[in-house]
Structure 1
Amino acid sequence: MIMATSPTVKLIYYAKLSKPRIIWLLDLAALAGAALSSKFLLIPLISVLAGGTLASGGAMIINEGIEIDKDKVMKRTSKRPTVMGYVSKKEAILVGSVMLVLGTAIGLIANPLTSFFILLGGLIYILVYTIWLKPRTPLNIVIGGFAGSAAAWAGYAAMTDTFTISSLLLGLLIFMWTPGHFWSLALKYKEDYSKAGIPMLPVLLPEKDSAKYIAISNALMAPFALILYLYVGLPYLIVTSIMTALLLYNSMVLFRNPTAEEAWKSFKISAPYLAVILLTIIILKII
């Protein structure tokens, strides 16, 4: 039964469902993509940020509409507005779809390539990750990581109407960062994912093996983070080297002591890691 609520309260529920803590990182990726182009065109920049925010939020809402039954059995997600009955599955999918379409249309203000990448990110998250891979394979978050890559590509395309090696590398950095980040979360909430029947890697493997793959994933990501100095400069290399060393050290700590507490620390470190790298690109390119 869906409970009647005021429009203002309903908007608050949708804001929560849109996962703002993820959206701000996607917007930061789009800004870094724009900065990497060495151009700042105001209208296209507003277009990609507004369109990307709407489309990403819509994709998140659709995801939570689809996954109500799984969210009910997971402690971490059991208080979401969809689970509590404030937003129905049908309503979440409808509103999320409208947001995705609207965000894609706003991207056209910049150019069609920007709009394409905005739509691509949403469709990868909904169709490839949520519907196809997440319920079926531990590779779900690996391939689904391209949804985040699309945000960076959209930002670059908004400024240049092109897709180049530098923008490809930025997107690949986000793609390579994603597994270690979310496997850490899954290791922390291993029991939750197991109850929901979601075959995240840490659900299928012992803690020690899961921690090993997190460390390997982060190590494989490191070259993609470092190579961007060719397009940003030596200060970027210094900052990124320090941040990468800290991340890899934390990965080894988790490998030696693969507990839920250490997994949570790994998760809490990896998000700021990517944010600092993206901010460094933005700041250095502005300077």
Structure 2
Amino acid sequence: MALSIPSKLIYYTKLSKPRIIWLLDLAALGGAFLASKIILVNLLAVLIGGTLASGGSMIINEGIEINKDKVMKRTSHRPTVMGYVSKKEAIVVGTFLLILGTLIGLIANPLSSMFILLGGLIYVLVYTIWLKPRSPLNIVIGGFAGSAAAWAGFAAMTGKLDLAAFLLGFLIFMWTPGHFWSLALRFKEDYDRAGIPMLPVIMPENFSARMIAISNALMIPFAISLYLFVGIPYLIVSVAMSILLMYFSIRLLKNPTGEEAWTSFKVSAPYLAIILLSIIIIRLITFI
């Protein structure tokens, strides 16, 4: 029996991974507020365009990975696996949303639109199709998809990039491996069953925990250095959050288990969100 349009919309919304999109939107907002001015029309364009393009990329990803999702407990109830959305439908709808989001980004300027498209192409072509089935470096290179969101936000306000924008982008790039390696360590059996060579699948738990800690430690200088553009209140927040993140990274080093990795994963998402929110709030206060 054919599904109703509202039902389809619900399934596509689930496939678009809203919990990831809101963080990408925060990255775009963080990039925008690093600029010296806010242009409301451009801000709306990059948020709407970026949301549609990111959601489209996620939908394409889950269309391509139906067979892998079937054998992973964590993903076995996705609408694509359950047969509510076919592989062809997911790829067609996702591609349409990616193109639509890119076109909406043009309302801001071509550079912002380019970064919206770049983020989607990195996620679909580089991460999903090329690296994820083949290399443990998949999530490392794939991290540039998140960087592109921050760069799109900054470019929407300025039409260019500068050092502050690059630092924010590389902060997100450096944050990505530790975050997703923690997830992969928690669901190591799932990824192994699906034949996905995530780092914790091909390397021992203690090595994976060490790489998570190193990745997080290498990220912190990028996070803290943004105080040069945001100010002392941001420095206080970023240092405090970085200490907290490293505390849980060290805990994982001492006890490299799935449960401890899950704790590390649950800490790292709020870490980035609070860093981005502090940029937005502090810069907003200066604008007022």
TM-score, length of structure 1 as denominator length: 0.99
Superposition pairs for residues 42-81 of structure 1, below 5 Å? Answer: 42-81=40-79
Distance of 1:11 and 1:121 partners within structure 2: 23
Cα displacement string for residues 167-213 of structure 1 (whole angstroms, at most 9, x for unaligned residues)? 01100000000000000000000000000000000001111111011
Distance of 1:217 and 1:163 partners within structure 2: 25
Superposition pairs for residues 118-157 of structure 1, below 5 Å? Answer: 118-157=116-155
Distance of 2:10 and 2:236 partners within structure 1: 41
Distance of 2:127 and 2:199 partners within structure 1: 14
Superposition pairs for residues 235-250 of structure 1, below 5 Å? Answer: 235-250=233-248
Aligned length, in residue pairs:
285
Partner of 2:28, secondary structure, is helix
Distance of 1:36 and 1:202 partners within structure 2: 35
Q: CA RMSD in A?
A: 0.5
In the alignment, which residue of structure 2 is the partner of 1:196?
194
Partner of 1:82, secondary structure, is coil
User: Which of residues 131, 143, 166 is equivalent to 1:168?
Assistant: 166
In the alignment, which residue of structure 2 is the partner of 1:261?
259
Q: Does 1:185 align with 2:183?
A: yes
Amino acid at match of 1:179: P
Partner of 1:170, secondary structure, is helix
- What 5-or-longer segments of structure 1 have no aligned partner? none
Amino acid at match of 1:91: E
Amino acid at match of 1:183: W
Superposition pairs for residues 8-19 of structure 1, below 5 Å? Answer: 8-19=6-17
Superposition pairs for residues 13-32 of structure 1, below 5 Å? Answer: 13-32=11-30
Cα displacement string for residues 50-107 of structure 1 (whole angstroms, at most 9, x for unaligned residues)? 0000000000000000000000000000000000000000000000000000000000
Amino acid at match of 2:258: A
User: Which of residues 223, 226, 233 is equivalent to 2:224?
Assistant: 226
- What 5-or-longer segments of structure 2 have no aligned partner? none
Amino acid at match of 1:275: A
TM-score, length of structure 2 as denominator length: 0.98
Distance of 2:127 and 2:218 partners within structure 1: 22
Distance of 1:242 and 1:280 partners within structure 2: 12
Partner of 1:84, secondary structure, is coil
User: Which of residues 109, 112, 116 is equivalent to 2:110?
Assistant: 112
Shift in Å, 1:38: 2.6
Distance of 1:253 and 1:114 partners within structure 2: 40
Partner of 2:134, secondary structure, is coil
Superposition pairs for residues 82-93 of structure 1, below 5 Å? Answer: 82-93=80-91
Question: % of aligned pairs identical?
Answer: 75
Misfit runs of 4+, over 4 Å: none
Partner of 1:87, secondary structure, is coil
